[in-house]
Amino acid sequence: MKKKRMRLLAIFLTTCMLILIGRLVYIQLVSTESFSKHDINLLEASVDQRSQILKIDDGRGKFYDRNGEPLAHEEIPTLVLFPFLKKMTWPIDEIASIIGRSESELKRAIEQADEPFVFGGDEPIELTASQSKAINQLKIPGVFAVNEKLYHNQTPAAQLIGTTNISDAEKKKRYPDMNLSPETKIGNTGLQRTFDEFLLSSGESKLVFHVDASGGPMFGVDVKYVEPANPLYPVKVVTTIDKEIQEKAEKLVDERGIKKGGIVLIDIKKSEIVAMVSRPALNVKDPNGAGAVNMMLTQKTPGSVFKTVTAAAAIDHKAASPSRTFNCNLTIDGRTDKQRELGMLNFESSFAQSCNRTFAELSQEIAEKDPDFLESYAKKLGLIGETGWQGDVYHTRVTQLYHEQTGKVWHDADLKKDPKMIAKTAIGQQDVQTTPLAIANMMATIARGGKKEQVKAVSKVEFNNSTTVVDFKNQDMGGETISPYTAMKMQQLLRKVVTEDKGTGASLRDLPVEVAGKSGTAQTNMEKGELNKWFAGYFPYKNPQYALVAVNFETKENSTSMTPLFSDIVKVLYSKDQD
């Protein structure tokens, strides 16, 4: 009986040993790179356990402004220290002397550290080129001067640049043939999304130091700089944004109290977005909240800015002779306008003072001959369809702007037969919808003499060695456009909005540059008394360089007009051009 129990115990112990040995074989030899349901790479985990690592760059491509300035990050030469220095004797006095800090500061920082760190914490010291060189020439293990990439909580043009995420499900859906690590970021919105295939990481850059069980440096092992196998990455996406102008524009929009709206500034000759501000601002803690929507790419009711379309049609149809006048004491349906009696006005003054009655009459007359004229001229001026750059790049379709809405004139084609609906549509009400970007590009089109071009947000993509991957050339939008003659007449009308004493843009007359433009006030919610307030135009008038839209959505009647904000931006550009 006793021998039997001993035999059973021996069998049990042997079985347990075999199970343990089998488990170790499975762990050590079979599942080294995908252990457990979490697919843990045991080899990497083993190395990590005996390594101290400082990630310098996650390897994802970066965004730069048109002058080469980093947008979403900052590259700062900084001092990196490893915690094993506390167990070593090293020339701390020399480092302190080079960076101009006390030895006690350095000692205290190292004593408190459990992992490699940038000296200075949230406010790292910024080394000069000579300081960096002096530090690295000392070749002290665990002491390095490196270019650290620091990411900002608030990115200029945040909605345009966009956000990233690390969703495994989305990675598999978008890149089923790629084995992306759990830490790899992919684009979620904005340019981060539309340029994601260019931006994907090909490996991170990091400093790695192997340590022993006590955390000290292993004998004979030096710190290694590990970088992506392909030296051409990460890529640089060179945007058309001017960082200095963008930051000033964001400040001005906030100072003017714009809660929902913003500005779009276009370089007319290059057809590029120089600045784009969208409010509400993006909240990094809630990247999919209300602030994630780029309001400058979202269609809204334009109000009287749309009279630009009706005016262009009236010019081509010869519907408004210089001698003809309109009773601007009346509303669009012929009743007395008690709120805004403007008297008898000709076509030019009607445009300058934004008389609804004139454009109601003209649109009804033109519609009898051409029922589709409003939609036709909206297309000619680029208010319908996508405004942003798109085209084939290496057999792949690239659309630069993320979720740009396309605009519309009619919701129901039958409404074209109703004179009342025609009148409302002609003044930018009823079903008319368009984006601030499209309005800005309409102004650029008129300023260019009728030449209609796609708008770029990115000028080129470069490899890490600054060679060009792709260069985005100017592209026509396609389709019909207005004639040079019509564009010239529209330029004169837009200028008169500012020069006429009672023009809706008269407050812009005293600016240091000549401005042309059009105001707009659209009723969006009668019950709440909400309005969209616009001012769109271009400048300088005689040598156009910039097209600009300033807009405040869902605001109240007593809120300020958009001309002060428009004026603010013009002054910023004028001041910059004088430097």
Q: Any idea which residues carry the catalytic annotation?
A: 304
Residue 304's CB: how many other CB atoms inside 10 A?
22
Give Cα 26 distance to the centre of its chain. Answer: 49
Residue 101's CB: how many other CB atoms inside 10 A?
16
CA 361 to CA 331: how far, in whole Å?
10
Reduced to 3 states, what is the DSSP secondary structure of residue 493?
Answer: helix
Reduced to 3 states, what is the DSSP secondary structure of residue 152?
Answer: coil
Beta bridge partners of 150: 74
Half-sphere exposure of 472 toward its Cβ, with a 13 Å CA cutoff?
A: 28
Residue 289's CB: how many other CB atoms inside 10 A?
11
Q: Tokens 């009607």 identify what position?
A: 350
Of 179, 68, 78, 149, the closest CA to residue 120 belongs to 78
The edge-to-edge listing of strands for the beta sheet with 73-81 is: 117-118, 73-81, 143-151
Structure tokens at 213: 């069980």
Q: Measure the CA dihedral 123/128/134/140, to 10°.
A: 20
CA 186 to CA 192: how far, in whole Å?
8
Q: Give every CB contact of residue 343 below 8 A, 6+ residues apart in sequence.
A: 328, 329
Which H or E run contains 123?
none
